[in-house]
Amino acid sequence: MECPSCGVEMVDLAGDDQTLRKCGECGGLWLDIADLNRMLLHRNLPGLETLGGKMNADAMSGQCPECLVDLVRVEGGEKTEPLGYDTCEACGGVFLEEEFKDAQDFAAAEKIIIEFFKRFSPRTKKKVAGG
Ligand SMILES: [Zn+2]
Ligand SMILES: [Zn+2]
């Protein structure tokens, strides 16, 4: 599978029963919606559908390497720290442009993914009492 951003072949990061695809060029990561949701639910986080985020129709995203349709940009996060990911409406694939360059294996990449979606949906954070 080719990276939606640079068009170079991505590398497989194999987990126990899931496989992530990482681009060695830009450090982006491609993952299946089912795998992502399983990962999130495993950490007691809501699935991607309920994490919110706003679609940005003006953003230029790449194409889904599987369906060859344009990806849709979804933006979220804090105002001070905006985050975004690209998703394919046809297959539900998700492309994260976070820095995965240092993630050499599945476990390392999974950690970054979880951190990303925790920050993406600030509502999932515990409220600070008395703030
Ligand atoms: Zn890339
Ligand atoms: Zn697709």
Whether the Cβ atoms of residue 28 and residue 95 lie closer than 8 Å to each other: yes
Cβ contacts of 90 within 8 Å, gap of 6 or more: 64, 67, 69
* Sheet containing 19-22, strands listed edge to edge, beginning at the edge strand earlier in sequence: 11-14, 19-22, 29-31, 94-96, 82-87, 72-77, 54-56
Cα(39)–Cα(28) distance, integer angstroms: 18
- Ligand 2 geometric centre to CA of 65 (Å): 7
Compute the half-sphere exposure of residue 68: CA atoms within 13 Å on the CB side of its CA: 0
Q: What's the predicted TM-score (pTM) here?
A: 0.88
Nearest ligand (C-alpha, residue 96)? 1
Tens of pLDDT, residue by residue over 48-83, are: 989 889 999 888 888 999 999 999 999 999 989 899
- Ligand 2 geometric centre to CA of 61 (Å): 13
Nearest ligand (C-alpha, residue 6)? 1
Nearest ligand (C-alpha, residue 86)? 2
Nearest ligand (C-alpha, residue 100)? 1
pLDDT at 116: 94
Ranges under pLDDT 70 in the chain: 123-131
Helix, strand and coil percent figures for the chain, each rounded to 5: 25, 25, 50
Reduce the DSSP state of residue 66 to 3 states and report it. Answer: coil
pLDDT at 130: 52
The count of residues in the chain is 131
